[in-house]
Amino acid sequence: MNGNSNDDYLSRANRAFKGKPVGEVMSRVRAIIAPSNMPSGEQETLAQQALDALRNMERPTPTQLAALELVIRLMRPVPLSKNGELEELDEDTTPEFAGWDKFRTSVKPYLYSVGRIDLLPQESIGTGFLVTDSLLVTNKHVLNQLSKGTEQLEKGQAVIRFHYEYGVPEDDNSDANIIEVVAIHPSLDIALLRVETQKFSEVRQPLSVDEKGVEAGDSIVVIGYPFKDARNPLFLNALFGDKCGVKRAALGEVMGTGGQSIYHDCSTTGGNSGSPVLSMKGAQVVGLHRDGYFLYRNEAVNGSSLSAFVQQYVK
């Protein structure tokens, strides 16, 4: 896996700050995020020291590097989905995601093909997305939670809710029953489930998987349903507030690749398990989010491995 050298850190920081001082960028972020949830001035100073050291070809101290990582993570926005459309972003605050408006347009036909997977009556478990009108992709560990470890499901146990958005009335007609397990990958965290298509109240546009792969520095978006997470309250309150369990898009970039995985820094929580990782260039699936480690990296199954598995079951 790449992404931990001085050069990699510097490239990532340069993309985030666009040559501007840390304090200037954070003052713009502070206009969006409540000041009480922002890092202290000392943390900003340490982050700037890390950036200066990297630019001088020096190794920052671990404390400086940790502060820089925290500041970059606070620049990874998580806009909401409302009525089938993602929120706009201030490009001055998030300069490295200048392609956001184009992405919002490209992904709009697919937003209601990503849903929240609930164990009935309403226990939220994770996220899933359609790859055909009847086949749903999620994680194997999401299936294990749904099935209580049996890896089997039948109609009446679980649903996927495609319209669960903040500030939008719930629409039970947008829910679809999960009726069976189609396949489980023998080694990767992938499960393929069948959903009841006749329950759909509107046409669902399946997402397409890109097999070409991604590289470190590529801009990506994870769409799913982040839940509350008590492990990192300051960071999560800053980005999510009290709006959890609803559809959001988490922006970030690829930190590296390795084997059948991609590593990224999008702002995700446990509810994002099973979310599609989308390229900002074309809104195609480049990975299946599966896990995350706070202020280290998040992990996803790469698109080529996901596609190879799914294609076995697509008629």
Percent of the chain's residues with pLDDT above 90:
56
Q: Quick one: 41 and 189 in the same domain?
A: no
Tens of pLDDT, residue by residue over 86-98, are 999 876 666 678 8
Looking at per-residue confidence, does 248 or 37 come out higher?
248
Q: Quick one: 159 and 236 in the same domain?
A: no
> Do 10 and 4 meet the contact criterion of CB atoms below 8 Å apart?
no
Please report the pLDDT score of residue 211 as a whole number: 86
Q: Quick one: 114 and 102 in the same domain?
A: no
Residue 312: inside a domain, yes or no? Answer: no
Q: Quick one: 100 and 143 in the same domain?
A: no
Q: Quick one: 178 and 96 in the same domain?
A: no
Q: Quick one: 119 and 180 in the same domain?
A: yes
Please report the pLDDT score of residue 194 as a whole number: 97
CATH of the domain at 157: 2.40.10.10
Most confident by average pLDDT, 26-30, 52-56, 302-306: 302-306
Residue 244: inside a domain, yes or no? Answer: yes
Residue 234: inside a domain, yes or no? Answer: yes
CA separation for the pair 184, 187 (Å, rounded): 9
Residue 311: inside a domain, yes or no? Answer: no
Residue 192: inside a domain, yes or no? Answer: yes
Q: Quick one: 215 and 299 in the same domain?
A: yes
Looking at per-residue confidence, does 58 or 236 come out higher?
58
Tens of pLDDT, residue by residue over 146-193, are 999 999 999 999 999 998 898 877 766 778 999 999 999 999 999 999
Q: Which of 51, 74, 97 is the last residue of a domain?
A: 74
Please report the pLDDT score of residue 199 as a whole number: 64
Q: Quick one: 147 and 85 in the same domain?
A: no
Q: Quick one: 116 and 189 in the same domain?
A: yes
Token pair 């988490």: residue: 250
Please report the pLDDT score of residue 1 as a whole number: 38
Residue 278: inside a domain, yes or no? Answer: yes
Stated as kind and residue range, the H or E segment containing 264 is strand 261-264
Number of domains in the chain: 3
Looking at per-residue confidence, does 69 or 295 come out higher?
69
CA separation for the pair 33, 21 (Å, rounded): 18
Please report the pLDDT score of residue 4 as a whole number: 59
Per-chain mean pLDDT for the chain:
87
Please report the pLDDT score of residue 201 as a whole number: 62
Q: Quick one: 92 and 61 in the same domain?
A: no
By residue range, what is the domain housing residue 11? 6-74
> Do 45 and 63 meet the contact criterion of CB atoms below 8 Å apart?
no
Q: Quick one: 22 and 68 in the same domain?
A: yes
Q: Which of 155, 177, 199 is the last residue of a domain?
A: 199
pLDDT over 90 (residue 245): no
Q: Quick one: 13 and 60 in the same domain?
A: yes
Looking at per-residue confidence, does 173 or 245 come out higher?
245
Tens of pLDDT, residue by residue over 248-274, are 999 999 999 999 999 999 988 889 999
DSSP, residue by residue, 101-114:
HHHHHHHGGGGGGE
Tens of pLDDT, residue by residue over 104-131, are 999 999 999 999 999 998 899 999 999 9
- Confidence grade of residue 278 (pLDDT, cut at 50, 70, 90): very high
Q: Which of 199, 219, 243 is the last residue of a domain?
A: 199
Strand 276-279 to strand 219-224: parallel, antiparallel, or no bridges (unpaired)? antiparallel
Q: Going by C-beta distance under 8 Å and a sequence separation of 6 or more, which residues neighbour residue 259?
A: none
What is the value of pTM for the model shown? 0.89
Residue 120: inside a domain, yes or no? Answer: yes
- Confidence grade of residue 3 (pLDDT, cut at 50, 70, 90): very low
Closest CA to 277 of 219, 229, 204: 219
Residue 314: inside a domain, yes or no? Answer: no
- Confidence grade of residue 17 (pLDDT, cut at 50, 70, 90): confident
